[in-house]
Amino acid sequence: MNETGDQAPQFKVEQPGVFSAIQDLGRPGRRIAGVPPGGAMDRFALAAANLLVGNPAGAAALECALTGPTLEILDRCVLAVTGADFEPTLNGRAVPGWTGLFCAPGDRLSFGGRRWGARAYVAVAGGLAADRWLGSAATYVLIGRGGLQGRPLKREDVLHRAGSAPRPLVAGRELPQPYRPPYSTEPELMTVAGPQLGRIKAAGKRLLFGQPWTVSSDADRMGYRLQGPQLPTTGADVVSFGLTSGCIQLPQSGQPILLMADGQTAGGYPVVGGVARCDLTLAAQLLPGESLRFRETRVETAQAEYRSRWAALDRIR
Amino acid sequence: MPRAKEAETQAKSGRSSRRFKITPLGDAALYVELGQRVDTALNSRAIKLAQLLQARRDVREAIAGYASVVVHYDPEQITARGLTAAVQKLSGTRADSVPPGRLHRIPVFYDGPDLAETAQTLELPVKELIRLHSETTYRCFMVGFVPGWAFLGPLPERLRLPRRKVPRKQVPPGSVAIATAQTGIYPLPSPGGWHLIGRTDVKVFLPNSDPPCLLRTGDRIRFFPA
């Protein structure tokens, strides 16, 4: 079912990129059925892209992993590219990220190469039309729902606008660097001690919080398997309990798993920590081979940091 | 907030077995542990507690596990400390008022690819395995992991065996399987390490319903040979 309204054709997909799919801020409230909230991996970047083009923060936009797509613009619009820097170009000329750009029919948005980051976001004024499932346009590939038939973009797809673009179209809104998240190729993620942290004793805790962890090749929207020093074994599994994105599970292998946006909603591995919501944004921009660190943080500190980072988005309006 | 502090102190001291162990799960959820056993009474208390918490305005989702509740809250409406105190106040709540879950009778074709081997490992005739599996009323202790997956149990002692050494890359949806003290129905095509003893046409993942699952925490399930 699509949204109603002025569904003008907006983009024609000339090249889909490695994995580009429609996301929004997800579908909370269905963990009771085993459905994770999903939505954008880098929620800040998706929200910023939307606000830069005059949309509500949670409108449907594109999440483009590893490389950007090539899109032919079919209707005049304002769009914004945020998140990873894949060198966005309009008709071959470099354009700034985190900025509302005016585009005319026949223009071509493409990407040069990866400077840093893992996921770029493209929002268009009016939002993208999408299949909605349980109230959200987020693509959930595991069951093939949401977004564009529950799948990533492919060549020749035509993306429609969800509704009328806000009028007047305003280009040039921007979010300067100091107001963006502190992205890094080796970020320190604020982490709250988890329910079973005690099981790895002081020595294990020192390793968990003291050493860098490398993102393995087994890393996707569900979670990242991490590689690093051998953590002590944690004894028996726990009787299964609820999980959330940011949970750091510790299986018997002694190598942790960081759950991400489409992560499982229940499990029995001990959970040694929970990464703060605002720092999942930083984790979302890591590729296999890159590293991260966990820094133990109090809940209140993590929540205060979340507020302060998201307050930066108020500058856009 | 002296009250919150008191509750926290008591939670830590763990002197009363009724007290919950409450720890943060990231910066927008709490893990409330009621116990560490697979136990119907504990699970009922978890369900009751989840229901009470779900009704709060500052709680987004309260998910009952086997013996725990994970409470997803809105940090703009309540602090972790405030919610911890509120949850601790509910620690005396009894589960008497939880009605028995809905009963599902599920037809099974007992012809799974692992049926014969599993019977052999358990040193049971196939017929006896089927009889034992289908004469027990199971409880849905939790829904989660993947959409529609229900953790069912406990399995009769005679049917318990470890997971397969080598998990399958692809298990067809509708497969009825057993492992350790649990049984379940695969909702989606997915990898899996359980022993496939049968299959059912009953769909447990219902993408066009909301919530999109047949089995809910606390429900009762009875299999019968199709």
Across the range B152-177, mean pLDDT stands at: 93
Contact across the interface for A240 and B66, Cβ inside 8 Å? yes
Nearest-by-Cβ selection for A33 from B36, B68, B211:
B211
CA–CA distance, A40 with A138 (Å, rounded to integer): 8
Contact across the interface for A306 and B80, Cβ inside 8 Å? no
Residue A3 clears pLDDT 90, i.e. is over it: no
Contact across the interface for B143 and A192, Cβ inside 8 Å? no
B145 chain-A contacts, CB cut-off 8 A: 34, 240, 264-267
Q: How far is A7 from chain B (nearest CA, A)?
A: 24
pLDDT band at A252 (very low <50, low <70, confident <90, very high): confident
Using one digit for the tens of pLDDT, what is the confidence trace for A179-198? 999 999 999 999 999 999 99
What are the residue boundaries of the structural domains of chain B, listed by start?
Answer: 2-92, 103-225
Q: Which residue has the higher pLDDT, A268 or A72?
A: A72
A238 chain-B contacts, CB cut-off 8 A: 36
Residue A4 clears pLDDT 60, i.e. is over it: no
What pLDDT, on the 0 to 100 scale, is given for residue A228? Answer: 97
Residue A131 clears pLDDT 50, i.e. is over it: yes
A295 chain-B contacts, CB cut-off 8 A: none
Q: What is the 3-state secondary structure (H, E, C) of chain B?
A: CHHHHHHHHHHHHCCCCCCCEEEECCCCEEEEECCCCCCHHHHHHHHHHHHHHHCCCCEEEEEECCCEEEEEECCCCCCHHHHHHHHHHHHHCCCCCCCCCCEEEEEEECCCCCHHHHHHHHCCCHHHHHHHHHCCEEEEEEECCCCCCEEEECCCHHHCCCCCCCCEEEECCCEEEEECCEEEECCCCEEECCEEEEECCCCCECCCCCCCECCCCCCEEEEEEC
Using one digit for the tens of pLDDT, what is the confidence trace for A73-104? 999 999 999 999 999 999 999 999 999 999 99
A246 chain-B contacts, CB cut-off 8 A: 26
Superfamily of the domain at B103-225: Cyclophilin-like (2.40.100.10)
On the question of a common fold for B2-92 and B103-225, the answer reads: no
Across the range A245-260, mean pLDDT stands at: 95
Q: Which residue has the higher pLDDT, A172 or B92?
A: A172
Nearest-by-Cβ selection for A274 from B24, B69, B149:
B24
What are A's interface residues with B at a Cβ cutoff of 8 A? Answer: 28-35, 133-134, 142-143, 145, 190, 192-195, 238-247, 264-267, 271, 274-277, 299-300, 302-303, 306
Across the range A247-273, mean pLDDT stands at: 95
Using one digit for the tens of pLDDT, what is the confidence trace for B175-219? 999 998 999 999 999 888 899 999 999 999 999 999 999 999 999
Sequence-ordered list of residues with C-beta below 8 angstroms from that of A276, at least 6 positions apart, any chain: A189, A190, A191, A192, A246, A297, A302, A303, A305, A306, B26, B27
Q: What is the mean pLDDT of chain A?
A: 95
What pLDDT, on the 0 to 100 scale, is given for residue B140? Answer: 97
Residue B4 clears pLDDT 50, i.e. is over it: no
Which of A30, A243, A245, A294 best probes binding to B when mutated, by most B CB atoms within 10 angstroms?
A243
Closest CA to A49 of A81, A19, A16: A81
The yes/no answer on whether domain B2-92 falls in CATH 3.30.70.270 is no
What pLDDT, on the 0 to 100 scale, is given for residue A147? Answer: 98
Across the range A30-54, mean pLDDT stands at: 97
Nearest-by-Cβ selection for B65 from A34, A239, A303:
A239
Using one digit for the tens of pLDDT, what is the confidence trace for A189-223? 999 999 999 999 999 999 999 999 999 999 999 99
Please say whether the beta carbons of A91 and A107 come within 8 A.
yes
What are the residue boundaries of the structural domains of chain A, listed by start?
Answer: 9-179, 188-316
CA–CA distance, B139 with A165 (Å, rounded to integer): 51
Nearest-by-Cβ selection for A306 from B27, B38, B143:
B27
Contact across the interface for A143 and B38, Cβ inside 8 Å? no
Question: Most confidently modeled of A229-233, B18-22, B59-63?
Answer: B59-63
Q: Which residue of B has its CA nearest to A238?
A: B36
What pLDDT, on the 0 to 100 scale, is given for residue A238? Answer: 86
Nearest-by-Cβ selection for B70 from A134, A145, A242:
A242
What pLDDT, on the 0 to 100 scale, is given for residue B53? Answer: 97
Q: How far is A311 from chain B (nearest CA, A)?
A: 13
B211 chain-A contacts, CB cut-off 8 A: 30, 32-33, 35
Structure tokens at A296: 């133990």
Using the Cα atoms of residue A55, residue A58, residue A64 and residue A69 in order, give the sign of their dihedral. negative
Contact across the interface for A274 and B26, Cβ inside 8 Å? yes
pLDDT band at A163 (very low <50, low <70, confident <90, very high): confident
Using one digit for the tens of pLDDT, what is the confidence trace for B136-148? 999 999 999 899 9
A·B CB contacts under 8 A: 152
Residue A165 clears pLDDT 90, i.e. is over it: no
Nearest-by-Cβ selection for B65 from A28, A266, A277:
A266
What pLDDT, on the 0 to 100 scale, is given for residue A6? Answer: 67
Contact across the interface for A300 and B149, Cβ inside 8 Å? no
B141 chain-A contacts, CB cut-off 8 A: 240
Nearest-by-Cβ selection for B145 from A245, A267, A303:
A267
Using one digit for the tens of pLDDT, what is the confidence trace for B12-53? 433 344 689 999 999 999 999 999 988 999 999 999 999 999
Contact across the interface for A145 and B149, Cβ inside 8 Å? no
What pLDDT, on the 0 to 100 scale, is given for residue B163? Answer: 87
Q: How far is B61 from chain A (nearest CA, A)?
A: 6
The yes/no answer on whether domain A188-316 falls in CATH 2.40.100.10 is yes
Structure tokens at A78: 């304002």
User: Regarding beta strands A188-193 and A88-90, do their DSSP bridges make them parallel or antiparallel, or are they unpaired?
Assistant: unpaired
What pLDDT, on the 0 to 100 scale, is given for residue B7? Answer: 42
Contact across the interface for B145 and A299, Cβ inside 8 Å? no
What pLDDT, on the 0 to 100 scale, is given for residue B5? Answer: 42
